[in-house]
Structures are given as structure tokens and as C-alpha cells.
Structure 1
Amino acid sequence: MRQQRSASALALGLCAIAMLAGCPGGKVAPGGGGDSYSPYPPPYPTYDSGLPPGVDGSINPPPPSCSQPATISGKVFAPNGTDPVPNASVSVRTTPPDPFPAQVACELCSNNNTAGALMQIKSGFDGSFSLSGVCPGNVQIVLQNGRFRRVLPLAVTAGATIALPPDQTRLPRRNAERDPSDSVPKIAVATGDYDQMECVLKRMGLDDDQIEIFDATSHYGAPPTGPSFSQLLADLNRMKQYSVIFINCGNAIGSLLAQPQVRTNVGEYVRSGGRLYVTDLSYDWIEQIPELASALDFEPGPSAPTQPEPMGAASVGAGGLIVDATVKDQQLAQWLGLFPGAIANGRTRIEHFSEGWAMMHQATTNTKVWVEGQVNGQGIFGVRPLTVTFNFNNCGKILFSSYHTASTGYGNPYGPTPGLPLSQRCSQQPLSPQERILEYLIFDIANCVRPIQ
């Protein structure tokens, strides 16, 4: 049983600080009670290509001209070589791409990997791509999703039709895996007693040592699993070295939010281009950061846009729910359809809700709702967002999900043993439908920034 966090003098103090700090934008707070949420009418917000008007984004820049061009096709896969990656950039180059900067940066899709590219295309929902008009010669095929990057040297002969096998078109499992320019994003994971996003990363195919684990939980008396997450939060320059920071559900570090420097560091990390991936009870790492709080309105009920609610106030969800959730994004629905049993008629099964899970009230118009469903808890009944993302200042990205991995984490008596290598403590079973969604959104949040329409 989770311990409910209550409103305290600390939380009230944070609210007062947030009121003084202020933030841009605002929450949509149309009065009402527990069942007042009304999803935005279609068409739902979607991401644009990030390209200038008049450019369709299929090939950018235009392909070179030659008398006997070749065609190169394949599918972009996750590092495991089996899970397709949509919206990846596939380009043809004659010189290696520039190295990524040592810290996070504003990486817009409109500027993504085009310098020095002879042509460029995006992978489809199933990871597929086809590059036509490739002139013969020695080239480099660059497969990129955010800071996941595979560089494939290729000798192209005149008029050839080249079908690249999955082992060549999967993203790398580690930096410099086959080519010095191969890259994976630098990832930090704060452990949680009720979630294990690190295991989704592992099952996507990343090597253990590419996933840096920071201890943020009690582990029910078990030894720490890595360096303290509090040390990372105290050092903004070190935070900026990580492309994505995951904060699992059920951590023991909420008291750090009382420290102004920690709140400032988290906000500045995202402002600088960092990605923040937060699940369930760790939602206060969004709600208590004034710059981020305005994008989401958590239960209970509507609240003022610049005033975070008391810590833990949204932990109202009923336990044991099995939700027949609606997938709001067409491409996500198509992608889930590639995995048997993951989706049917636009709906997917979301479960493993424990008593007191964190419930959203509604999202603003600038927030992308990926999944929503009929839920209840403490007198609240109705359709609520379950998974959302939003951009911050068109530079950083934030994801929040009310559900998480199928395993309940270290709090599960049948769960893994803390401290073991990921390859030993993470399940080898196929990902569940909700874990598939979280996998898809890892690639989405890691990718370049596209404005929300």
C-alpha cells in the first residue's frame, strides 16, 4: 500500500513561492467537479514537420542528379533490432555528421541533420524508408532519432537497388558501436519503488552501461543501486550532460523540491533543451516547478495556472482499474498495430493501477494527449488524460504518464532484486501494451522538437 502524501506547511510554502515566481501561459480551468473534464474536440493537436512552409519534409534538400541513380531502402529499428522506429531521419552524406554537443541544446526538426546531407527522408510508422535518386559512389547512410544515431558507410553502384538488413539499420546499443559517429543519448534514470523505466530501455536493446542509474528510493531497506539522484539535481552543469532524465514513480526525494536551487535547476534543464520523463507519483517534479506547472492541471479539480497544488494532492486514483483507453494519435495507433494484441479498434488496455495513483484533471491546448480513458477515484469519475507530452519554450520536452511499467517495481515482493545488472533483474517477457506506448514515447521525446499545432 502506498503512503499518501498530504498537504503540509512545506507544500503550502512551495505554492507561495510559485505564486511569486509566476510562469508563462496558463492552465485551462473551466470550473466543475470530478466529471467536468471534456476532451478538446477534434481535430486533435498534432505535431507539424518543423520545416518551412512549402517544404513537405519527404526529401530535404532535393536529391542530386545523376544518370544511373540507385535506390536504398530498409527499416529503422530500435537497438534490439526488432521494434520499428517511426519519424527517424534517414539521410545520405559524403562526410560524417558533426558530433553532438556535450550538453543539451535546442534541437529543432527544421535544423535536424541537414547540413552536409545530399538528401533526407523520415521513416514511416513502421520504420520503413526508401531513398531514390542516390548517385553512385562511397556514401554514408545516417539513421538518426534525436541523439540516437547510426552511421553506415556504403558503396553505392550505378542503378543498384539496395535493401538494407535490420542489423544494419538498427540504432546503436552503445556509443561508437560500429562507427566512431554512432551515438546513443546520455540517459539518467532515478529509481522508483513502483516503476522501472530502465527495464523498458534495456528491453529496447541498450547496453546496461548506457543507462546511468541514480538512487532515489528506499527500496524497502535494500542497498542503494547507484549514486544519489540528489547529487545530480544539485549540479545543473552535470544535469545538462544528460539528454533525457527519467524519474520513476515512487521515489523518496520529494523533500528536495523544497530547495529553490533544485526547482531552478530542473526548470533550467528543460529550458536548455533537456527531456524530462516522469511517471505517476513523481508528478510533483512537474507540478512544483513553476515554469512547467501551467501545462498540466492535476486533480483534485481545476487550479490556478501559476499556483502548484499541495504535494501529493493528485494521488486520488482508485486501485485495481483496468482501463479500455483511447489512443488519440493516429501514428501511435498504427505503430501499436504492429504488435499482436496491443490495440483493437483504437483502444488499448491499461492496468496495474495501485491505490492513490496520480490523476490529471486536464491538459492545456499546447499539450499533446496521447492516451485517455474512463477512470475514477475519491468521488472523481470521467475521462482523463493518461499520457501527455509538451514542449517547453520549443526547446525542452516533458512527458507525464499516470501509468507505468507492468511490474510494480521494488515495492513488488515478486519483483526484481535491487543492485543486480539490468540483464538479470528486468523481465524478458514481451512488452505489455502500456509498455509499448512508453517505448514509443521514449523515441518521441528523444527526437528533435516539432511545434505543437
Structure 2
Amino acid sequence: MKKMYLLVICVILMACSQDDTVREEVEAIGDYSLSGKFLAPNQIDPISNANVTLFKAEQKQAETLTNSLGEFNFEELFEGSYSILLEKGHFSSRLNVDIEDGQINNSVDVGNIDIQEFPRIGVVTGSYDNIENILYDMGLVNPITNAPLFDIIEGNSAGRSSIKNKNPRGQQHNHFGKTASTNPYLTTNVDFTLEELLSNSGQLAEYDILFFNCGLDTANADLNTNVYDFVNNGGILYATDWAFPFIEQINSISGNAYLTFTEPHRSGVSVSTEATILDATLSNWLVDNFGVGANGTLTIDEFLGSWQVVDSHDETQVLPWLNGSVEYMDANNNLVNTTKNLAFTYQIGEGGIFYSSFHTENNEEGFSDVDRIMEYMVFELSTLGQAQE
């Protein structure tokens, strides 16, 4: 009888203990929510799929991703002082916020938070692309001096003049180089050239991201090993169209054909395509914020009259972003009409590469649809390599 009595007491104590645990778990759920919106440094364009981490007393409390509108939300929080870290690759911002008793509806909206911390960026000028215009319009600019928050490096000793070249059919095409920006702040602002930069591995390593505009000097690309080292050691390279010789050299050094290019080179002749958007996150960002690409396609009309076609990619390591019907000349001088992928990202070592067969619209009056893709990819490419960290 005595043993039975003790058993009953133990059961009662265990039940009380479990009840206390449940009560503690219920009590551990806070009543407050915290929300906000992450924006580009121009304080207008949302940053999609960014990491948002919430800290309290330097301890991580929660983590989430921004949606296509740049919005984030945390629930079930307690009163107290918090800090928020917002990150999209190398771009980030931080904010301190207090949750206090008496908040309306127990909800704290910190409003818009724009990027405040930037990577070290170098832009190499070219005859047919002006990514520097997009970077400037994204807000990478000193708000007091209006100077760009990135280096602009001369990439073509011949300047951005009009040149003529022949396609494989022997027909002449005038390609008027997209002249240097009329923005007086977007001129060369360093005292070294592309050639000097490429010969100096230490100087290359000072950059987090390098932008190679289409039409830069590629004469010695097949002799250069420093660009590969830059990427392999954590750097990020943006390259468009005629900058492809640097991609081929990286292939050669790495021993991996991440991208292969059709021959003869620069044989693309179509200048527009209705491209399918292959990434849902990019598609949602374009539709939800700018009302473009609602049917999952977007008109890409920024090709040169003789552009470089990507023949194939390593499907195990390379991510294609857009696909469209194009025309190019094959090695037998026959016109080929087929579907090709047009833009790619991939990791190499600790860094990564973005390459596209098209480039910026270069309209000083604001963003075109093609420019919006490039804006999105600027932030997206800054995340390359971080998956390995």
C-alpha cells in the first residue's frame, strides 16, 4: 500500500512538472511584431530575397528573407532593444530598434531601410555597355558630392568611338559605340588603366566586384591569369558580350568549360528576342514592383548587330537566367534560328561570375526593362561564393 501511495505521488509530481513546462513554453511567446522594407541605396527599388537577422543582446533571435517587395516581418517578440542586420551579398545595412510597452497593435514598423554598406566596386569602361549608369541610378552615389561610390577605369585605349566590323557573311555593320555617359560624374576617376590593373594582382584583390563592360580591350585576355585568381580567391566578375575572352581564359585555367561559345565568334545577328525568365524570384520582383514580365517573358532588345552567342553551359555548376529564340551564323556561314540561354551565374572557388550576351539599354532617362534585369543581377551576383562560407 505504501508503495502504491509513493507511485501516485510520483505520477502527480511528473504531471505537475509537465504542466509547468507547457506553461513556460506558452509564456515564452511574445506579443509583438516587427516589420520593415529593405531598399536599394536610391531608397526606391526593393531588395528581394535578402537575409534579415534579428539580434537581442548580440544573440540571434530569428532570421528571415525579404519578399519580392523587399518586406520582412518578425512575430512573437518581447519588449526590449533589438538590432537588425540586412544583407544581400556584399551589400548590407544595420538598424537598432526598441520594442516598448504601448506600441499600437503591438506592432513596430521600422519603415524603409536602404543599403548603407557597399562592396569595393570597379567598373571598366567599354564601347557598348555602360553598367556605371545603372549603378549610379541604383543610388551608389555620394549624396553630398554626387560622385559615384565606385571606381571607373579606362578599359579601351581607343575610346568609345564608332567602329565597323564584319559579320561572318562579310556584310558591314556599323556599331556606334555607346558614348560615355553625359553624367559629368561618370568619367574615369582613377589614375590607372585596365592594362595596368590586370598586371597587378594586389590591386585586383582590392576589389570585391569588377564590372567588365562590353567593348573593353581584350587583346591580352588569353595571356592573363590574374583575373582567374581574382575570382577564385573570392572576387566577383560581371562581364557582357564581347568581354567573353576573359571567360574563355578562366575556362582554360580552371580546366572546366563553364560556358562554351559558338564559332565563329561574334556571329549573333538577331537584335531582339522575347526571352523566358527562368527564375521565379526574378520574375516576381519584375512583376510586383514594375509591372513587367507578367507572362513570364520579357523583351530583350540590347544586342549588338554581331554579338557573342553562348553555345552551352555546364548544367551541374552554371545557372541560366533567361532563354530566348535567336539567330546566328554557323561555321558554314548558314543562318541558324534556335533557342539559347542568354545570361548566367556560377561560382568558381570562393568567387563567381555573371555573364550575359546582352547588356544595358544605356538610356539616361531612367531604367528600361532590360536595365531592371541588370539591376537585379548586380545584387544577385554579389551573393556568389557566399554559399561556401
The residue number in structure 1 matching 2:318 is: 367
Structure-2 separation of matches of 1:197 and 1:364: 26
Structure 2 residue 151 is the aligned partner of structure 1 residue 212:
yes
Question: Which residue type is aligned with residue 159 of structure 2?
Answer: H
Question: Which residue type is aligned with residue 109 of structure 2?
Answer: A
SS in 1 for 2:115: coil
What is the number of residues matched between the two proteins?
Answer: 322
Structure 2 residue 341 is the aligned partner of structure 1 residue 385:
yes
C-alpha change, 1:258 and 1:94, in structure 2 (3 Å) is same
Q: 1:114-133 maps to which residues of 2 (within 5 A)?
A: 116-133=59-76
Deviation by residue 1:255-314 (Cα, 9 ceiling, x = unmatched): 23243xxx32111111111110001111111012222761001112xxxxxxxxxxxx43
C-alpha change, 1:340 and 1:373, in structure 2 (3 Å) is same
Question: When the two structures are superposed, what TM-score results if normalisation uses the length of structure 2?
Answer: 0.77
C-alpha displacement of 1:81: 1.4
> Given the alignment, which residue of 349, 353, 361 partners 1:406?
361
Structure 2 residue 46 is the aligned partner of structure 1 residue 84:
yes
C-alpha displacement of 1:339: 4.1
SS in 1 for 2:219: helix
Structure-2 separation of matches of 1:449 and 1:133: 33
> Given the alignment, which residue of 208, 212, 220 partners 1:243?
208
Richer in strand (by share): 2
Structure 2 residue 305 is the aligned partner of structure 1 residue 355:
yes
Structure 2 residue 387 is the aligned partner of structure 1 residue 447:
no
Question: Which residue type is aligned with residue 189 of structure 1?
Answer: V
* Structure 1, gaps ≥5 residues long: 1-64, 97-115, 173-182, 301-312, 408-425
Question: Which residue type is aligned with residue 247 of structure 2?
Answer: I
Structure 2 residue 369 is the aligned partner of structure 1 residue 433:
yes
C-alpha displacement of 1:436: 0.9
The residue number in structure 1 matching 2:268 is: 317
Note if contact 1:190-1:214 (Cα within 8 Å) is conserved in structure 2. yes
Greater Cα radius of gyration, structure 1 or 2? 2
Note if contact 1:203-1:428 (Cα within 8 Å) is conserved in structure 2. no
- Give the RMSD, CA atoms, in angstroms: 2.5
C-alpha displacement of 1:239: 1.5
Q: 1:40-189 maps to which residues of 2 (within 5 A)?
A: 66=28, 68-94=30-56, 116-158=59-101, 160-166=106-112, 169-172=113-116, 183-189=117-123
SS in 2 for 1:80: coil
C-alpha change, 1:368 and 1:441, in structure 2 (3 Å) is same
C-alpha displacement of 1:230: 1.9
Structure-1 separation of matches of 2:30 and 2:380: 36
> Given the alignment, which residue of 262, 281, 290 partners 2:242?
281
Deviation by residue 1:204-229 (Cα, 9 ceiling, x = unmatched): 11113311101102224699824312
Structure-1 separation of matches of 2:292 and 2:78: 41
Higher RCO (Cα < 8 Å, 6 or more apart): 1
Note if contact 2:343-2:356 (Cα within 8 Å) is conserved in structure 1. yes
Q: 1:191-230 maps to which residues of 2 (within 5 A)?
A: 191-207=125-141, 208-217=147-156, 218-220=158-160, 225-226=188-189, 227-230=192-195
